[in-house]
């Protein structure tokens, strides 16, 4: 059983004259894990996060970090002992990237030279080029700014990292990259991370455990993401998770039973000289177009034999062996050919998967689970 790093014991936050923002919250947050607070606007998730470092003071109840009551530690020192990442990155515009990252070590008495050396190391840790250290926040993209915000939060090597909707202001592609980067960092650093989001998909992707908050600041369910998707505690959680929770649940199902088939391929140069699909080619003549390193470029479909010239259409998402059934099904359904492209660790084509076979594996798994009930 994991050791608790943060404990809420009957914590309530009530603003003057209003209903509780957080109502009698009791929960334990595991050390070295990512715990996600999720819920609709106004449910108390951000208030709960901010009570951990006393940006918000609880009306009643006790919060401990590492067994120590947070109210026994001066607020400024408590905040410097934790990393904090917010939605807008919160970087100081008049300071360089390196000096932004070095902020907390400098406040803790670390020399400027040592603090900047640590900041330079962290650029690489969060996936930024060393040359960006001399730039200012306005010279960075939104995704780069958020990476700098994460580096700044890690600069003093805190055991606890608080993240308040840090990826919600960036576009979906960058958001996906930042989520993957956070999971990579966590594998290396094993921090205790409390992450706030309103997005249930983000919560289930990132969280080792997920806390679903309901209206009025009540904790509606606190469990592993798979359990929340499989067995919502009540109608509110089921409604918040959404009707497609069965599809999301596939993200926790292994794809071991999915068969990878061989696929016909051709290069762009071959496509230019190809007069059409050969007789008897399977799946109506679809061929996968690959580069010289056998990395997928797109699909050449039957339409290229109409005399209008070569036709290549973009492919769908890619599937890597060992990924989940959700990724397998998404790859097959998003492909114009109906065949999901499977690639190896280096991104080279390993073959294709068929949607019907993925669905058969899903159905077999469902029957096994029913038999176990």
Instruction: Give the per-residue pLDDT at 311.
Output: 65
Please tell me the predicted confidence (pLDDT) of residue 139: 92
pLDDT of amino acid 303: 56
Distance CA 36, CA 29 (A): 10
Looking at residue 307, its pLDDT comes to 47
Helix axes of 325-334 and 355-372: crossing angle, nearest 10 degrees: 150
Query: pLDDT by residue (tens digit) across 103-130?
Result: 888 888 889 899 999 999 889 888 889 8
Pairing of strands 192-197, 160-164: parallel
CB neighbour burial string for 114-144, b if at least 16 within 10 angstroms, e if fewer: ebbebbbebbebbbbeeebbebebeebebbb
Which domains does the chain show, CATH number per domain?
4-244 (3.40.50.300), 265-274+281-363 (3.10.580.10)
Q: Rounded CA gap, 353 and 338, in Å?
A: 9
Contacts 24+ apart (CB under 8 A), 180-184: 181/126, 181/127, 181/147, 181/150, 182/34, 182/150, 182/206
Q: What is the pLDDT along the chain (373 residues), one digit of tens a residue?
A: 668 899 999 999 998 877 899 999 999 999 999 999 999 888 999 999 999 999 999 999 999 999 999 999 999 999 989 999 988 778 898 999 999 999 888 888 889 899 999 999 889 888 889 899 999 999 998 888 989 989 998 888 889 999 999 888 778 878 888 888 899 889 888 999 999 999 888 898 899 999 999 988 899 999 998 888 888 899 999 888 876 667 677 777 788 888 999 888 888 887 776 544 444 343 456 888 898 889 998 888 765 544 444 567 777 888 988 888 888 888 888 888 888 999 988 889 999 999 888 888 888 876 765 565 4
In angstroms, the CA 286 to CA 356 distance is: 17
| Residue-level pLDDT at 369 | 58
Query: Tokens 């073959």 map to which residue?
Result: 351
């Amino acid at each position: 059983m994991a050791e608790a790093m943060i404990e809420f014991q009957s914590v309530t936050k009530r603003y003057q004259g209003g209903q509780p923002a957080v109502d009698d919250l009791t929960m334990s947050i595991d050390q070295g894990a990512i715990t996600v607070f999720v819920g609709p606007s106004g449910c108390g998730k951000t208030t709960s996060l901010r009570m951990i470092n006393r940006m918000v003071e609880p009306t009643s109840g006790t919060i401990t970090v590492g067994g120590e009551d947070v109210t026994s530690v001066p607020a400024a020192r408590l905040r410097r002992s934790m990393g904090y990442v917010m939605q807008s990155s919160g970087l100081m515009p008049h300071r360089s990237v390196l000096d932004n990252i070095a902020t907390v070590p400098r406040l803790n008495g670390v020399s400027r030279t040592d603090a900047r050396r640590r900041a330079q190391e962290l650029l690489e840790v969060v996936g930024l080029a060393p040359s960006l250290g001399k730039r200012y926040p306005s010279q960075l993209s939104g995704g780069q700014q958020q990476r700098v915000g994460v580096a700044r939060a890690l600069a003093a090597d805190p055991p606890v990292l608080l993240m308040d909707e840090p990826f919600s202001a960036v576009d979906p592609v960058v958001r996906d990259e930042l989520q993957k980067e956070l999971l990579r960092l966590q594998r290396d650093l094993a921090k205790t991370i409390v992450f706030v989001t309103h997005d249930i998909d983000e919560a289930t992707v990132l969280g080792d455990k997920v806390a679903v908050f309901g209206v009025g600041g009540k904790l509606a369910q606190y469990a592993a993401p798979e359990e929340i998707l499989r067995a919502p505690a009540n109608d509110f959680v089921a409604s918040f998770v959404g009707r497609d929770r069965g599809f999301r649940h596939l993200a926790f199902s292994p794809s071991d039973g999915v068969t990878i088939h061989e696929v016909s391929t051709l290069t762009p140069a071959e496509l230019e000289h190809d007069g059409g699909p050969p007789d008897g080619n399977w799946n109506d003549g679809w061929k996968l177009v690959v580069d010289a390193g056998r990395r997928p470029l797109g699909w050449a479909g039957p339409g290229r034999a109409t005399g209008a010239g070569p036709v290549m259409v973009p492919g769908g998402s890619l599937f890597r062996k060992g990924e989940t059934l959700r990724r397998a099904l998404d790859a097959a359904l998003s492909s114009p050919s109906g065949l999901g492209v499977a690639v190896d660790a280096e991104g080279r084509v390993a073959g294709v998967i068929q949607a019907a076979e993925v669905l058969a594996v899903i159905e077999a798994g469902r029957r096994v689970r029913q038999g176990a009930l």
